[in-house]
Chains A and B, each alone.
Chain A
Amino acid sequence: MPKITRQSHLIEMEKITKSFGDFLAIDQVSFNLTQGEIHALLGENGAGKSSLMNVLAGIYAQDEGQIKLDGNTVDITGPAMAKSLGIGMVHQHYKLVSSFSALDNIALTVPHGTYLSGIRDLRKIIISKMSEIGFDLDIDKQVGKLSVTEQQRVEILKVLLGGAKIIILDEPTAVLTDEESKGFFKTIKLLAESGAAVILVTHKLKEAMNFADRITVMRGGRIIDTITPEDLSEEQLIRLIIGEVIINEPNLSKDIGDRKISLQNLQTTSHDGSIALKNISLNIREGEIYGIAGVGGNGQTELASALMGLSKLETGAILFNGHGDISSMRPDQRRNCGLVYIPADRQKYALAGQLSLTENYAISGLLRHEFGSWLKVNSFKACEKASEAFKEYDIMGVRNLNQKAASLSGGNAQKLVISREFSSNPSFIIAHSPSRGLDIRATAAVRAKLCMARDNGAAVLLISEDLDEILLLSDTIGVINGGSIVAEFEAPTARQDIGKAMVN
């Protein structure tokens, strides 16, 4: 652990304030960074972490406050300026040109002389840098065709080759699996040891506790405290972050009924002709959450879309008690049977961002003719229902019912999706990564709603790449690997056993 003295502060941000219109994103925040440390910036969604870092990286201009670099006040006017000061940021949403090769993307940020000779030099520099930090990457491949991990590596290379001494990583592991995260943190440690200062923006407690030298906690646009991981227990840290404790005890079903859903030998083929789902057979009972664990990209998305009727099954049957085999039904017919879907990518598949909250809420009810006939929409009733539901589901950030759905933060957008999907009292729920990208409070709320539906007797299929989530909620756990269910466990079960089945 580096010794923290006032002189050794590489960066000092003093009383930074930034607002967007009426919204005060960060309020009089002071933050410092020491050479060679990994400094975690923890907080819920909307706590102001990203805004603060965007100010440091020159993306946002602060309204008030000043930034000192090595004790000298600097005026960071833009990303170019930040870059020249040695501040590099890997954004949560990668800033890559997907039609360019990795090499071209790096050349865009770190030009070396003229393009033609520069690209030759750069290739050599990148290759030597990659071997130095243990990266493996095809730098001539189009970035759009690289995996998320590889894209992240391109971003990190961009920052490193730009000569950054201060590296800001915004939610770097949000898109990575457990295994990928491990490798990622190995790299980060290496970077810090070589003298860089790393700021890790995250809302994952474990990462901060395990890998950071210091942790700064933000809440509601303010700094709550800066601590070292040894000082506090996880519970105390949670209390700092959200101001209260949410208990993470497994919540298992007390009343499991008869078999409700039976999937029999489901098989599909993906676009490139390879088999996406292989002989998937499983049963889900009333009042049960069946968790599908697995490393992302092993058929989870294909399974969800096959069940919802968004893609065609090659063989197999989906038996739904009281409705027979629903595998040849259209999605709307399946919905009429009581099937609902919470997709992983809510902005893309669950919400129409440019439409109002009410319209987003009412769309499924409209199809059930709850809000008037097909000739006339009873918008008054829709508004009434929507505002009731928004209260019941504790959706925050609703200024009026006509505001665009895109204006909601991730957690509230997800609550909107759930309130809509649950409005029909479904008997079969497919939830795919329902808490992805949500903060602690919203995650707890979303999980509570799933448990509530289960307690009301619904059969729930929970597909999640977050093993903790699977362990907390599932009564039965199936492990998906290479498109088939390779193991099945009854809860409670050991984490390691599931982990083994996931990677074998």
Chain B
Amino acid sequence: MDFLVFWLSNVPSFAAPFALGVLGMIICERSGVLNLGAEGFVLVGAMSGAGVLISLGDYPLSAIIIAGASASALGLLFGFLVVLLRVNQVIAGLIMVFLAQGLTSLISRNMGWVNKPFSGLGRIDFGFLTDIPFLGPVIFGQDIIVYITILLYILSFYFIYRTNIGLRLRAVGENPDAVDAAGGNVILLRFMAILIGAFFLGVAGGYLTVVVAKIWVDGISGGRGWIIIALVIFARWQLWRSIIGAVLFGCIEALIPRLAAVGVQLPQYFILMLPYVVTILVMIWSNLKGNNKQDTPLALGRPYLREERH
């Protein structure tokens, strides 16, 4: 029972960065922009969050917001490349990853942010609610970002499926020609989607340093950006499925330290490999289930140019 409570109460904070990242990716890719740079945006967010706490003082919420904003700044570059210059989106995405890896190492070293622990953001105590056995720590013992994430999902669902601009966002990823002919601005829509998407990826990164690790080291995201990309495919660009995927991976990641704590002997490298094995299985599963093409935004990865001759 204790094992279960410890495990499950840790799941949300492991799932939150996945959930936030996938949310950003879905908003971005629903507009038809393939974003393979997720890992880069997460890294920039993670470093910026840590940087704020170390250099500016103990403002964890501001740190998270600045983490998102810094990733959006990188998103400006990405958007400039893929939306305005119409650079190949695969290549531009990969460039974002390597650029961010170099950039975060450079800046954090120069600013002296590496390996400096900080207090970060703690969990909320709801008093007697948190003391409820079992449910208390699992539901009422989380940090504020977890609850905000849930709120963001509800807002995003409303935004994507229940507003005119959400309709346009979905349409621009399916058939930008139709949106253009309808008088919508394809460039602006895609740019906004990239910036919002990058913001959430950055927040996911900020969460990793500000809430989880409470320290910055190079490459702290440890490939979570790549898992986020796999999760998008698993979720087939649907919000509710992405929550399931994020929780699934949260469960696995939360299980690893619990197993070690109760003395289950598993080779360290097997455990580190586990998320990727699950990623592969998830991808195979989502492919075997078929209908894959139906859910993929039709214009995903295709730059838009109006004056093309048909």
> A residues engaging B (CB < 8 A)?
20, 57, 59-61, 78-80, 83-84, 89, 91-93, 95-100, 104-105, 107-109, 111, 114-116, 118, 158
Minimum CB distance partner of B175 in chain A: A97
Do residues A78 and B166 form an inter-chain contact, with CB atoms below 8 A? no
The answer to whether A20 touches B309 (Cβ under 8 A) is yes
Contact B179 A108 (CB under 8 A): yes
Closest 6 CB pairs of A and B: A80-B183, A109-B182, A95-B178, A95-B181, A97-B174, A111-B164
Q: Is the CB of A89 within 8 A of B181?
A: yes
User: Which chain B residue has the least Cβ–Cβ distance from A21?
Assistant: B309
Which residues does B use to contact A, with CB under 8 Å?
A: 162-164, 166-168, 170-171, 174-175, 177-185, 294, 298, 306-307, 309-310
Q: List 10 A-B contacts (CB under 8 A).
A: A20-B309, A59-B306, A79-B183, A80-B185, A83-B183, A95-B178, A99-B294, A108-B168, A114-B163, A114-B164
CA A78 – CA B306 in complex, angstroms?
10
**Do residues A115 and B164 form an inter-chain contact, with CB atoms below 8 A?**
yes
How far is it, in angstroms, between the C-alpha of A95 and the C-alpha of B163 when the chains are bound?
21
Contact B164 A59 (CB under 8 A): no
CB atoms of A60 and B307 under 8 A apart? yes
Residue of A with least CB distance to B166: A115
Cross-interface CB contact of A98 among B174, B180, B184, cutoff 8 Å:
B174
Q: Chain B residue with minimal CB distance to A118? A: B164
Residue of B167, B182, B183, B307 touching A115 (CB-CB under 8 A): B167
Asked whether, in the complex, the Cβ of A108 is within 8 Å of the Cβ of B171, the reply is: yes
Question: How distant is the Cα of A114 from the Cα of B162 in the complex, in angstroms?
Answer: 9
- SS of B interface (majority): helix
Q: Which residue of A lies closest to B163 (CB)?
A: A115
Closest to B182 in A: A109
A98, chain B: closest CB distance, angstroms: 7
A105 to B167 alpha-carbon distance, docked (Å)? 9
Most buried by B among A91, A97, A98, A107: A97
Which residues of chain A come closer than 8 Å to B306, judged between CB atoms?
59
Chain B nearest CB: distance from A58 CB in Å? Answer: 9
Nearest-neighbour CB distance to chain A for B179, whole angstroms, equals 7
A97 near B171: Cβ-Cβ < 8 Å: yes
- Return chain B residues, CB-CB under 8 Å to A96: 175, 178
Write out the residue numbers on chain A whose beta carbons fall within 8 Å of the beta carbon of B183: 78-80, 83-84, 109
Min CB distance B188 to A, Å, is 12
Complex partner residue of A107 from B164, B185, B294, CB under 8 angstroms = B164
Hey, which chain B residues are within 8 Å of A84, CB to CB? 183
**C-alpha spacing A115/B163, complex, angstroms:** 5
Could you tell me the distance in whole angstroms from the C-beta of B215 to the nearest C-beta in chain A?
A: 44
Residues of chain A contacted by B181 (CB below 8 angstroms): 57, 59, 79, 89, 91, 95, 109
CB distance from B15 to the nearest CB of A (A): 29
Which residues in A have their C-beta under 8 angstroms from that of B166?
115
Give A375 Cβ to nearest chain B Cβ, in Å: 34
A99 lies within 8 A of B164 (CB): no
| Chain A neighbourhood of B184, CB < 8 A | 80, 108
Q: Smallest CB–CB gap between A325 and chain B, Å?
A: 35
Query: From A96, which residue of chain B is reached at the shortest CB distance?
Result: B178
Residues of B within 8 A of A116 (CB): 162
Smallest CB–CB gap between B269 and chain A, Å? 43
A93 and B182 CA atoms in complex are apart in Å by: 14
A351 vs chain B, min Cβ distance (A): 16
Are A98 and B164 in contact (CB-based, < 8 A)? no
Contact B162 A115 (CB under 8 A): yes
Residues of A within 8 A of B307 (CB): 20, 59-61
Q: Is the CB of B309 within 8 A of A108?
A: no
Q: How far is the CA of A96 from the CA of B171 in the complex (A)?
A: 9
Q: Which residue of A lies closest to B180 (CB)?
A: A79
Tell me the nearest residue of chain B to A23, going by C-beta: B309
Contact partner of B167 among A20, A57, A95, A104, CB < 8 A?
A104
Given A92-B310, A95-B180, A115-B163, 13 other A-B residues pairs in contact with their CB atoms under 8 A: A60-B307, A61-B307, A80-B184, A89-B181, A96-B175, A97-B171, A98-B298, A100-B171, A108-B168, A108-B179, A108-B182, A115-B167, A116-B162
Residue of A nearest to B171 (CB): A97
Q: How far is the CA of A97 from the CA of B186 in the complex (A)?
A: 14
Q: Which residues on the B side are within 8 Å of A118 (C-beta)?
A: 164
Question: How far is it, in angstroms, between the C-alpha of A158 and the C-alpha of B298 when the chains are bound?
Answer: 22
- Whether the pair A79, B182 counts as a contact (CB closer than 8 A) is yes
On chain A, the residues within 8 Å of B164 by CB distance are 107, 111, 114-115, 118
Q: How far is the CA of A193 from the CA of B171 in the complex (A)?
A: 34
**Chain B positions within 8 Å of A105 at CB level:** 178
Compute how far the CA of A315 lies from the CA of B154 in the bound complex, rounded to whole angstroms. 55
B3 to chain A, nearest CB (A): 45
Q: In angstroms, how far is the closest chain B Cβ from the Cβ of A73?
A: 21
**Chain B residue with the shortest CB-CB distance to A111:** B164
| CB-CB under 8 A for A99 and B162, given A83-B183, A107-B167, A108-B182 | no
Residue contact A95 to B162, C-beta cutoff 8 Å: no
- CB contacts (< 8 Å) of A99 on chain B: these are 174, 294, 298
B175: chain A residues within 8 A (beta carbon): 95-98
Residue in chain A with minimal CB distance to B310: A93
Residues of chain B with a CB closer than 8 A to A61's CB? 307
User: Shortest CB–CB separation between residue A26 and chain B, in angstroms?
Assistant: 13
- Does A108 lie within 8 Å of B163, measured CB to CB? no
**A61 closest partner in B (C-beta):** B307
**Complex formed: what's the CA distance from A60 to B180 in Å?**
12
Chain B's nearest CB lies how many Å from the CB of A275? 25
Contact residues in A for B185 (Cβ distance below 8 Å): 80
CB distance from A174 to the nearest CB of B (A): 13
Rounded to whole Å, the gap between the CB of A34 and the closest CB of chain B is 25
CA distance A240 to B182 in the complex (A): 35
C-alpha gap A107/B163 in the complex (Å): 11
Residues on A with C-beta less than 8 A from B168 are 108
Q: List the A residue with the shortest CB-CB distance to B295.
A: A99
A91 to B306, CA, bound (A): 14
| Minimal Cβ-Cβ distance residue in B for A158 | B182
Q: State A115–B167 Cα separation when bound (angstroms).
A: 8
Give the distance in Å from the alpha carbon of A92 to the alpha carbon of B162 in the complex.
30
- Docked pose: A100 CA to B174 CA in angstroms: 9
CA distance A98 to B175 in the complex (A): 8
A60–B306 Cα gap in the complex (Å)? 8
Chain A residues with Cβ below 8 Å from B174 are 97-100
Whole-angstrom distance between the Cβ of B298 and the nearest chain A Cβ: 8
Docked CA distance A60–B308 (Å): 9
- Bound CA–CA A166/B243 (angstroms): 48
Q: Which residues of A contact B180 (CB under 8 A)?
A: 59, 78-79, 95
Which of B180, B184, B309 has the most chain A CB within a 10 Å cutoff?
B309
A108 to B181, alpha carbons, bound, how many Å?
Answer: 10
| CB proximity of A383 to chain B, nearest CB, Å | 27
Report the minimum CB–CB distance from A61 to chain B (whole Å).
8
